[in-house]
Structure 1
Amino acid sequence: MIENYFSADDILEFRIWMRYADRFVVISHMAPDGDAIGSSLAMCRYLKSHGKEAVVIVPDPAPDFLMWLPGADDIIVFGSAPDKAEKLVYKADVVCCLDFNVVKRIDNIASSFLYTKAKKIMIDHHPYPGATFDVTLSHPEASSTSELIFHLICALGDFSRIDREMAECIYTGMMTDTGAFTYNSNNASLFRVVSRLIDMGIDKDVIYRRVYSNYSEDRMRLQGYVLNEKMQVFPEMSTAIITLTQDELDRFHARKGDTEGFVNLPLQIKGISLSIFMREDRELGKIRLSFRSVGSVPCNILASDWFHGGGHVNASGAQYDGTLEEVIARFHEAMKAWKKSDSESIKQLFRKKQKR
């Protein structure tokens, strides 16, 4: 039996707005990943199946390897069409907020989002949701927001409305947010959902190749450069870091999404429990950080306490105002407290709030 995450009150609240609202806007976070795009497109397609006006808006473009998803061509990028996007947000009856739980994650959409009179419904799987939403459907125990969309549709009694295209979007979100089911996925219910999606006609092998085997030659050479020149390993701390400057990214003609997955590479090294990827984003004027860990090592606490980020125990992110050199120095500051190389010492370090 497939687990139902939602209470009767949750379903009643959503059902009311489904009945009386006509115009829906689905928004997700900046630097949208597979779960953000997959869940948003699935939700949009579901709303349209009920005859609703629905559109997906994101702050900036999705990576090329996600643009094959059904409906991706209709996504509105706020940064490219701010006037059009603002009008849609202001006119909406309901704004569905997917795969984020604090307003700062939607960047340039935030102003119109805060001022719209639309009902704001948040559906997300990250911990510690903010208080900006009218309805909060938060389930950090779920593998992904895409999985939550599947459960929500089923709880609304609309399983039959999930077609192959919607199933492809949901599966892509689940797959990418679990590293192709290599973390945050040891759950039998999750694979029962996957089984139902396969029954609907998706080809999981084709989806995997479209996402993970669709790189350019430049991207492959960038990965080789990263592993040979830019990865630093600290075995005494069970940690590795990768750093990239904007100039280095430009040298390899890096496109959006080309660095996806780099943070996972050091975790293939025996004894490495924590990996951090730091890259310069000249356009944003910040340093983007990705954190991954294995087992009970809580990389989200490191992201939160030292870099003002957050996320899940084994997968987190942050944006830091400063230079790459400053971020690296801050990393070393955190590492000074590590006395042993076992993961328990790492856990104890990150559980202690550091004084700045």
Structure 2
Amino acid sequence: MSASDRPLRARVHLDAILHNYRFAKGFAPASRALAVVKANAYGHGSVAVARALASEADGFAVACLDEALELRDSGIQARILLLEGVFSPDEIVQVDRAGLTMVVHCREQLGWLLAARPERPLACWIKVDSGMHRVGFAPEAFAEIHAALSGCGHVGEVGAISHFARADELGHPYSERQIAAFDRALGGLPVMSSLANSAAVLSLSRAHRDWTRPGIMLYGISPFVDPHPSAGELRPAMTLESGIISVRTLQAGDPVGYGGRFVCDRPMRVGVAAIGYADGYPRHAPDGTPVLVDGRPTRLVGRVSMDMITLDLTGMDDVGLGAPVQLWGDRVPAAEVARLCGTIAYELFTGIGRRVPLVHEGA
């Protein structure tokens, strides 16, 4: 059997991503929006996603140079922001050639930038550590860094950027403290700025500023820990699906899978689907994790293997080999699968294995 015959694929709904981008723009109509397509568009395929958004997106955000150059090589001409900046002074040459915008978050990067000799003025955004305490300059250093860059003859645009640590927790006062720290850093300077991630787009209008950065919401996942009235408008952008490759009847007392974690408490029909942790399905998925077989809800039983999972087909006597299985999508929320597995949808999406074909549809 050839690799293409394995009944496993991730269908990516580009129309849903376009809808979600427009939805994000509607929440901040006075702002431009960078579609965040780092990490292969959160596992959805960065080139295909960027091309689907190219006619409408104000720009894109990626983590590193390789991700940006992949988009440029595919024909994307819009602004591309390097969220982590450059990792060596040599990368600035490629940033210059590709016309990229880079974040500057430490004094080493600042030194490289000031010493560069680009062919055209560079665009850079100063990262302010407003409270995430990961990367960035302290708020009180912003004026100094801004002056150094603004006074540099080969630097053109100078912006400001920061990132929320707890915007996914609705109403948490820490987000307001971060907004205040960011504003204090800018000190009234007329600087183009970006502050809002997906959660802030939907819940913190004071953070919208010049550029928003919708990320996980583009892919149909609510950014919030708790329910939000607008999150239901997001459309799931990925359907992970496989098929049944084996069906058998087991008796009460029969264990299923490695370690016998699940034991049949009655005669059961058990099916095997062609997907496992090597494909990105979470190894720690517990018994009872929801799946859909032939359009009907059922559950995972037994440990996830490298290449296979076992499913309860009791009462589905008509289900046989080839029956479709949805692991997550429009009827099995990825966020719910993630919650049961003690993780987040971000990890599920970005963990999709390379032997899972991405099939892009729509847009």
Q: Shared topology, TM-score over 0.5?
A: no
Larger radius of gyration: 2
- Normalised to the residue count of structure 1, the TM-score between the two structures is 0.32
With a CA cutoff of 8 Å and minimum separation of 6, indicate the structure with the bigger relative contact order: 2
Q: Give the structure with the larger helix fraction.
A: 1
Q: Give the structure with the larger strand fraction.
A: 2
- Normalised to the residue count of structure 2, the TM-score between the two structures is 0.32
